C-alpha cells in the first residue's frame, strides 16, 4: 500500500472530518429543543466527570498553568455555561413582534471550525462544542500542535457524549494529525460555514482571510488602574488573584498596573504584603529577555509559569511565596518590553500624576496590542467608571479580577472563552461569543401598510388641495404635482 507524507495525511484527515460533520449537521438541523437539550446535558455531564483528568493532561502536555484552575475552567465551560445558555431560544420561532407582525425564526449556521489555543486547550474545546450543538451546528476543532492530545481527548469526550444522547455520529470532530496545511484546509473548505478563532493574532488574521464569516479575538494587554478612591487592599488582592489564576493564561488577565503618585507607596506596600515582588531595573531586564522571542512574541517556555519558575530562569532571587513579579516601566512600546502582553505572572508597573495621565497611558497600552479587548479599573467613584467607559475597549471591568471578570465568571457577562474585540480590534463582534452568534435568523413579515395606491407625499397633498371629487382628473392632479416639484427644486429642497 502506498505511503503518504504526513502533511498529505493531515490534509486528508481534515477533509474527511469536514465531510462527515457536514452530513451529520444536516441531520442535527432537524432536531427540536428537547433533543438538543438532552444532548447538551450529557456533554456537560461528561465534561464534569473528566474536568480534573483533562486539566491534568493539559498541564502535562503544555506546561502552562495550574491543574486546579484548569479544572475550574473546564467546569465553567460546561456547567456554568449550560446554566446561562439553557433558556436561550435557538430553534424555531425565537421572537414575535405582534404589533408589527414580524416573526424571527432561528436556523443553524452549518458546520463550524474551531481554532483552539494551547493556553486554554480543553476548556475552549468544551465551550466551542457546547455552543455549537446548542445552535444545531456541527464543529471540527483544529488544536494547537503543542496541546493536540488534550484537545483531541476533550473533543472526543464531547462527541461521544453527544452521540450517546442521540446526536448524529461525527457531529464533532478534531484533527489528530495537526499541521498548518490541515488548518488551512479546514478554514477554506466548502463544508465549513463559519470559523471561531481563539488564539494568536496571526491565526485570527488567517481566519478572517479565509473568505467566509469568522468570529475571532485579539490580544488583551489589559491595563489595570488603581484610582485614588480604590480599596487598595481589595484591588491588589483582585489583581494577584487574576494574574495567578492559571498563571495568567486568560487573555483578559491584567498586564499592567497603573497607580497615582498619591497612592503609589501604599499600593507597592500592599503588593509586597500579598506576595508581589518589585524587581530592580537589572532584574526586570533579565526577566524581559527570557519572556520574549522574535521581538515581542511570548516564549512558550515562559507562558503560564509561576513567578518562581520565571525568576529561576532569569537567574534572579525572589522571596519564598512570591506570587507575581512587577517591573517598573517608564514608557510604552519599543524599549519597554513589559508594556506588551505577557500571558504569565509578570506585570508592568506605572505611576501617574492623576486620572488624566492614567487615561492617556491606558490608551497607549491598549494601542500597543490590546485595543478593543478590556480595561480594568479599581475605584469607588462611579463618575470615574464612566470616564473609563470611553476607552477603546468593549469590557470595562470594575473592582474585579479582570481574567475572571472578562470571561463572565465574576461578572454578569456571558460565560465565554472567545471574547470579541469589535472592529477596533479587528473582530467581527464586540461580544463574549454565545450560541446566539452561531445562528442565522430568518424573518416572516406580514404587510401592515397599504402601498397599492400612490403614496407620494406631494401627490397626496396636491390631491387633498384640489379635492377628492370626481370632477378633478388625475391629469390635473399630476400637473399640479409637477409644478410643485419644479418650485421645490428651484428652492433647493429635495
Give dist(CA 141, CA 129) in Å, integer.
9
| Helices (H), ranges, 113-199 | 123-134, 148-164, 180-188
pLDDT tens sequence across 272-306: 999 999 999 999 999 999 999 988 889 999 999 99
pLDDT band at 1 (very low <50, low <70, confident <90, very high): very low
Q: pLDDT higher for 138 or 472? A: 138
* Alpha carbons within 13 A on the beta-carbon side of 460: 6
Q: Residue holding cell 424555531?
A: 92
The answer to whether 448 and 442 have CB atoms below 8 angstroms apart is no
Give the residue from 76, 448, 436, 96 showing the smallest Cα distance to 250: 76
**Which residues have a Cβ under 8 Å from the Cβ of 470 and sit 6 or more positions away?**
none
Residue 448 phi, psi (nearest 5): -125, 0
Q: Which three cell numbers stand for residue 69?
A: 484552575
Q: Is the model's pLDDT at 470 over the cut of 60? A: no
Beta bridge partners of 376: 224, 397
Q: What is the mean pLDDT of the chain?
A: 93
The answer to whether 429 and 447 have CB atoms below 8 angstroms apart is no
Give dist(CA 108, CA 86) in Å, integer.
17
Residues in the chain: 494
Give dist(CA 406, CA 316) in Å, integer.
32
Q: Residue holding cell 519599543?
A: 334
pLDDT band at 403 (very low <50, low <70, confident <90, very high): very high
Give the residue from 249, 297, 10 showing the smallest Cα distance to 122: 249
Q: Is the model's pLDDT at 484 over the cut of 90? A: no
Residue 276 phi, psi (nearest 5): -90, 145
Q: pLDDT higher for 482 or 241? A: 241
What is the reported pLDDT for 3? 73
What is the reported pLDDT for 486? 76
Q: pLDDT higher for 4 or 60? A: 60
What is the reported pLDDT for 374? 96
Give dist(CA 424, CA 116) in Å, integer.
23
What is the secondary structure of 20-54 as a DSSP string? HHHHHHHHHTT--HHHHHHHHHHHHHHHHHTHHHH
Helix (H, G, I), strand (E, B) or coil at 244: helix
Q: Which three cell numbers stand for residue 463?
A: 390631491
Give dist(CA 314, CA 289) in Å, integer.
8
What is the secondary structure of 252-314 as a DSSP string? TSEEEEEEETTTHHHHHHHHHHHTEEE--HHHHHHHHHHHEETTTEEPTTTTT--HHHHHHHH
> Which of the residues are catalytic?
251
Beta bridge partners of 429: none
Q: By CB neighbour count within 10 A (0-12 exposed, 13-18 middle, 19+ buried), where does 423 fall?
A: exposed
User: In the chain, pLDDT over 90 holds for what percent of residues?
Assistant: 84
Q: Is the model's pLDDT at 168 over the cut of 90? A: yes
Give dist(CA 104, CA 441) in Å, integer.
6
DSSP code, position 79: I
Q: Is the model's pLDDT at 368 over the cut of 80? A: yes
pLDDT tens sequence across 299-352: 999 999 999 999 999 999 999 999 999 999 999 999 999 999 999 999 999 999
Q: pLDDT higher for 275 or 211? A: 275
Residue 476 phi, psi (nearest 5): -65, -40
Q: Is the model's pLDDT at 491 over the cut of 80? A: no
Give dist(CA 343, CA 347) in Å, integer.
10
Phi-psi domain of 115 (left: phi exceeds 0; alpha: psi -120 through 50; beta: other):
beta
Give dist(CA 42, CA 485) in Å, integer.
68
Give dist(CA 106, CA 93) in Å, integer.
6
9-23, 37-51, 146-160, 465-479: which has the minimum mean pLDDT?
A: 465-479
Q: Is the model's pLDDT at 494 over the cut of 90? A: no
pLDDT tens sequence across 87-105: 999 999 999 999 999 999 9
Q: pLDDT higher for 431 or 494? A: 431
Q: By CB neighbour count within 10 A (0-12 exposed, 13-18 middle, 19+ buried), where does 475 fall?
A: exposed
Q: Is the model's pLDDT at 458 over the cut of 80? A: no
Q: pLDDT higher for 456 or 158? A: 158
Amino acid at each position: 500500500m502506498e505511503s503518504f507524507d504526513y502533511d498529505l495525511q493531515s490534509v486528508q484527515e481534515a477533509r474527511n472530518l469536514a465531510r462527515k460533520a457536514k452530513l451529520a449537521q444536516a441531520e442535527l438541523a432537524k432536531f427540536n429543543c428537547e433533543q438538543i437539550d438532552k444532548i447538551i446535558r450529557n456533554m456537560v455531564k461528561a465534561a464534569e466527570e473528566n474536568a480534573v483528568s483533562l486539566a491534568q493532561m493539559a498541564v502535562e502536555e503544555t506546561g502552562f498553568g495550574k491543574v486546579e484552575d484548569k479544572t475550574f475552567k473546564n467546569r465553567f465551560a460546561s456547567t456554568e455555561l449550560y446554566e446561562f445558555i439553557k433558556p436561550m431560544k435557538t430553534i424555531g420561532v425565537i421572537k414575535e413582534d405582534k404589533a408589527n407582525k414580524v416573526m424571527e425564526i432561528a436556523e443553524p449556521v452549518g458546520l463550524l471550525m474551531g481554532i483552539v489555543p494551547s493556553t486554554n486547550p480543553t476548556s475552549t474545546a468544551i465551550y466551542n462544542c457546547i455552543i455549537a450543538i446548542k445552535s444545531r451546528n456541527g464543529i471540527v476543532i483544529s488544536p494547537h500542535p503543542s496541546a493536540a492530545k488534550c484537545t483531541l481527548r476533550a473533543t472526543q469526550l464531547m462527541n461521544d457524549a453527544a452521540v450517546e444522547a442521540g446526536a448524529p455520529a461525527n457531529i464533532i470532530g478534531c484533527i489528530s494529525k495537526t499541521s498548518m496545511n490541515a488548518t488551512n484546509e479546514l478554514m477554506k473548505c466548502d463544508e465549513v460555514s463559519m470559523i471561531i478563532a481563539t488564539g494568536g493574532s496571526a491565526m485570527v488574521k488567517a481566519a478572517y482571510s479565509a473568505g467566509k464569516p469568522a468570529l475571532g479575538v485579539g490580544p488583551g494587554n489589559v491595563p489595570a488602574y488603581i484610582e485614588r478612591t480604590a480599596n487598595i487592599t481589595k484591588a491588589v488582592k483582585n489583581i494577584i488573584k487574576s494574574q495567578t489564576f492559571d498563571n495568567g493564561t486568560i487573555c483578559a488577565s491584567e498586564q499592567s498596573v497603573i497607580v497615582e503618585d498619591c497612592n503609589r507607596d501604599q499600593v507597592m506596600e500592599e503588593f509586597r504584603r500579598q506576595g508581589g515582588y518589585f524587581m530592580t531595573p537589572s532584574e526586570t531586564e533579565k526577566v524581559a529577555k527570557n519572556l520574549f522571542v522574535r521581538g515581542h512574541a511570548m516564549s512558550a517556555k515562559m507562558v503560564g509559569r509561576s513567578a518562581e519558575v520565571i525568576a529561576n530562569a532569569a537567574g534572579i532571587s525572589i522571596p519564598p511565596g512570591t506570587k507575581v513579579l512587577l517591573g517598573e516601566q517608564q514608557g510604552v512600546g519599543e524599549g519597554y518590553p513589559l508594556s506588551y502582553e505577557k500571558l504569565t505572572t509578570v506585570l508592568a508597573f506605572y505611576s501617574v500624576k492623576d486620572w488624566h495621565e492614567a487615561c492617556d497611558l491606558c490608551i497607549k497600552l491598549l494601542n500597543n496590542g490590546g485595543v478593543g479587548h478590556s480595561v480594568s479599573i479599581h475605584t469607588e467613584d462611579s463618575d470615574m467608571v464612566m470616564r473609563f467607559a470611553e476607552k477603546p475597549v468593549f469590557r470595562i471591568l470594575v473592582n474585579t479580577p479582570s481574567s475572571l471578570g472578562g470571561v463572565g465568571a465574576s461578572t454578569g457577562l456571558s460565560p465565554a472563552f472567545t471574547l470579541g474585540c469589535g472592529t477596533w480590534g479587528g473582530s467581527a463582534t464586540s461580544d463574549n461569543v454565545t450560541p446566539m452568534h452561531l445562528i442565522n435568523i430568518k424573518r416572516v413579515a406580514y404587510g401592515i401598510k397599504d402601498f397599492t395606491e400612490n403614496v407620494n407625499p406631494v401627490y397626496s397633498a396636491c390631491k387633498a388641495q384640489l379635492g377628492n371629487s370626481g370632477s378633478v382628473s388625475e391629469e390635473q392632479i399630476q400637473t399640479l404635482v409637477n409644478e410643485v416639484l419644479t418650485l421645490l427644486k428651484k428652492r433647493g429642497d429635495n
